[in-house]
Chain A
Amino acid sequence: MEIVICPFCGKENQPESETCRYCQARLMPLKINPASQPDLIGRSPEEETPAKLKEDQVSESQDGLQAAGEMRRSGAPPASEASDWLSVFRNQINTQDLSPQPAALDDGPQPELREIHQDFEAGAMQDDSSLSLPFEDAGQKEEGPPENLVVGPQDVERTGDEAVDDLAWLRELQSQYQQVEGLSSAESKKGEDWSAANELSQDSQKRGDEQVPSWVEEIYAGPLHEEEAASDLGLSPAELPSWLDATRPSGTHQDIFGIPADYGGQVEIAGPLAGLPGILPAEPEIALGRKAAAYPAQLQVTETNRLQAEIFDQVLQSEGQNQPNPDRGLVTSQKVMRMAFAVIIIFAILVPVFSLQTLERYQPIAPVAVLSASQIISSIGNESPVLVAVEYEPGFSGELDAALAAVLDHLMIQGAFLVFVSSNPSGPLQAEHIVAVSNQVGSHQYVNTESQNEYINLGFIPGGPAGLRNFAENPRLSNPSDISGEPAWQNPVMMPIDDINDFSLVIVASENQDKSRAWIEQASPLLVNAPLIYVVSAQSEPLIRPFFDASPRQVQGIVSGVIGSVQYGATIGRQGIAELYWPSFNSGLLAAAILIVVGGGANALLVLSANKNGRKKGGN
Chain B
Amino acid sequence: MTTASLAGIIFLLLFGGLIIYFARFKPGSSHSSLRDIPAFSKIRRGIGLAVEAGQRLHLALGHGGIAGFKGGSGLIGLSLLERIARAASNSDRPPVATSGEASLTFLSQDTFKSVYRLMYAESQYDSEAGQLTGLTPFSYAAGAILVVNDPQVSTNVFAGHFGSEIGLIIDAAEQNDSLTSGGSDDLQAQAILYAAAQEPLVGEELYAAGAYLQVNPYHLASVRAQDIVRWALAGGILAGAILKAFGLI
Direct interface between A and B, CB < 8 A: yes
Chain A interface (Cβ < 8 Å from any Cβ of B): 325-326, 328, 334-335, 393-395, 424-426, 463-466, 512-514, 517-518, 539-540, 543
Residue ID in chain B nearest A466 by CB atoms: B67
Among the stretches B35-43, B135-143, B207-215, the one at the interface with A is: B135-143
17 A–B contacts from the bound complex (CB under 8 Å): A326-B151, A328-B176, A334-B174, A334-B175, A393-B137, A424-B136, A426-B136, A463-B67, A464-B65, A512-B163, A514-B69, A514-B70, A514-B161, A517-B69, A518-B68, A539-B164, A540-B188
What CA separation (Å) do A466 and B175 show in the bound complex? Answer: 40
Given A325-B151, A466-B67, A513–B136 Cβ distance below 8 Å?
Answer: no
A465 touches which of B69, B135, B138, B151 (Cβ 8 Å) = B69
What CA separation (Å) do A395 and B161 show in the bound complex? Answer: 18
Chain A residues near B163: list those with CB within 8 A: 512
Chain A residues near B138: list those with CB within 8 A: 393-395
Chain B interface (Cβ < 8 Å from any Cβ of A): 65, 67-70, 135-138, 151, 161, 163-165, 174-177, 186-188
B188 pairs with A513, CB closer than 8 A:
yes
| Main SS at interface, chain B | loop
Chain B residues near A514: list those with CB within 8 A: 68-70, 161, 186
A425 pairs with B136, CB closer than 8 A:
yes
What CA separation (Å) do A393 and B139 show in the bound complex? Answer: 11
Report the minimum CB–CB distance from B167 to chain A (whole Å): 12
Chain B residues near A334: list those with CB within 8 A: 174-175
Chain A residues near B165: list those with CB within 8 A: 395
What CA separation (Å) do A539 and B188 show in the bound complex? Answer: 7
What CA separation (Å) do A325 and B135 show in the bound complex? Answer: 31
Report the minimum CB–CB distance from B56 to chain A (whole Å): 13
Report the minimum CB–CB distance from A209 to chain B (whole Å): 77
B68 touches which of A394, A426, A465 (Cβ 8 Å) = A465
Chain A residues near B177: list those with CB within 8 A: 326
A464 pairs with B67, CB closer than 8 A:
yes
Report the minimum CB–CB distance from A336 to chain B (whole Å): 13
Chain A residues near B65: list those with CB within 8 A: 464
Other CB < 8 Å A-B pairs besides A326-B151, A465-B68, 16 of them? A326-B177, A328-B175, A328-B176, A335-B175, A394-B138, A424-B136, A425-B136, A464-B68, A465-B69, A466-B67, A512-B163, A513-B187, A514-B69, A514-B70, A539-B164, A540-B188
B186 pairs with A513, CB closer than 8 A:
yes
Chain A residues near B186: list those with CB within 8 A: 512-514
Report the minimum CB–CB distance from A339 to chain B (whole Å): 13
What CA separation (Å) do A514 and B138 show in the bound complex? Answer: 16
A543 pairs with B187, CB closer than 8 A:
yes
Chain B residues near A543: list those with CB within 8 A: 187
What CA separation (Å) do A426 and B134 show in the bound complex? Answer: 13
Chain B residues near A335: list those with CB within 8 A: 175
Report the minimum CB–CB distance from A470 to chain B (whole Å): 13
Report the minimum CB–CB distance from B179 to chain A (whole Å): 15
Residue ID in chain A nearest B151 by CB atoms: A325
Given A512-B163, A539-B188, A540-B188, A518–B136 Cβ distance below 8 Å?
Answer: no
Chain B residues near A512: list those with CB within 8 A: 163, 186
What CA separation (Å) do A335 and B151 show in the bound complex? Answer: 17
Chain B residues near A394: list those with CB within 8 A: 136, 138
What CA separation (Å) do A334 and B175 show in the bound complex? Answer: 8
Chain B residues near A393: list those with CB within 8 A: 136-138
Report the minimum CB–CB distance from B75 to chain A (whole Å): 15
Residue ID in chain A nearest B141 by CB atoms: A395
Report the minimum CB–CB distance from B164 to chain A (whole Å): 7
Report the minimum CB–CB distance from A330 to chain B (whole Å): 12
Report the minimum CB–CB distance from B52 to chain A (whole Å): 12
B135 pairs with A518, CB closer than 8 A:
no
Chain B residues near A424: list those with CB within 8 A: 136
What CA separation (Å) do A464 and B68 show in the bound complex? Answer: 7
B135 pairs with A425, CB closer than 8 A:
yes
Report the minimum CB–CB distance from B109 to chain A (whole Å): 21
Residue ID in chain A nearest B65 by CB atoms: A464
What CA separation (Å) do A325 and B67 show in the bound complex? Answer: 40
What CA separation (Å) do A463 and B68 show in the bound complex? Answer: 10
What CA separation (Å) do A465 and B151 show in the bound complex? Answer: 39
Leading 3 A-B pairs by shortest Cβ distance? A325-B151, A465-B68, A464-B68
Report the minimum CB–CB distance from B154 to chain A (whole Å): 11
Report the minimum CB–CB distance from B136 to chain A (whole Å): 6
Residue ID in chain B nearest A539 by CB atoms: B188
What CA separation (Å) do A185 and B138 show in the bound complex? Answer: 127
Residue ID in chain B nearest A521 by CB atoms: B69
Residue ID in chain A nearest B67 by CB atoms: A464
Residue ID in chain B nearest A424 by CB atoms: B136
What CA separation (Å) do A513 and B188 show in the bound complex? Answer: 9
What CA separation (Å) do A499 and B129 show in the bound complex? Answer: 44
Chain A residues near B164: list those with CB within 8 A: 539
Report the minimum CB–CB distance from A331 to chain B (whole Å): 13
What CA separation (Å) do A465 and B69 show in the bound complex? Answer: 9
What CA separation (Å) do A393 and B188 show in the bound complex? Answer: 15
A518 pairs with B188, CB closer than 8 A:
no
What CA separation (Å) do A543 and B151 show in the bound complex? Answer: 38
Chain B residues near A540: list those with CB within 8 A: 188
Report the minimum CB–CB distance from B85 to chain A (whole Å): 24
Chain A residues near B135: list those with CB within 8 A: 425
What CA separation (Å) do A513 and B163 show in the bound complex? Answer: 10
What CA separation (Å) do A579 and B136 show in the bound complex? Answer: 30
Q: Which one of A328, A334, A395 has the greatest number of beta carbons of chain B within 10 Å?
A: A395
Given A334-B174, A539-B164, A518–B69 Cβ distance below 8 Å?
Answer: yes
What CA separation (Å) do A70 and B161 show in the bound complex? Answer: 96
What CA separation (Å) do A325 and B56 show in the bound complex? Answer: 13
What CA separation (Å) do A465 and B136 show in the bound complex? Answer: 17
Chain A residues near B161: list those with CB within 8 A: 514
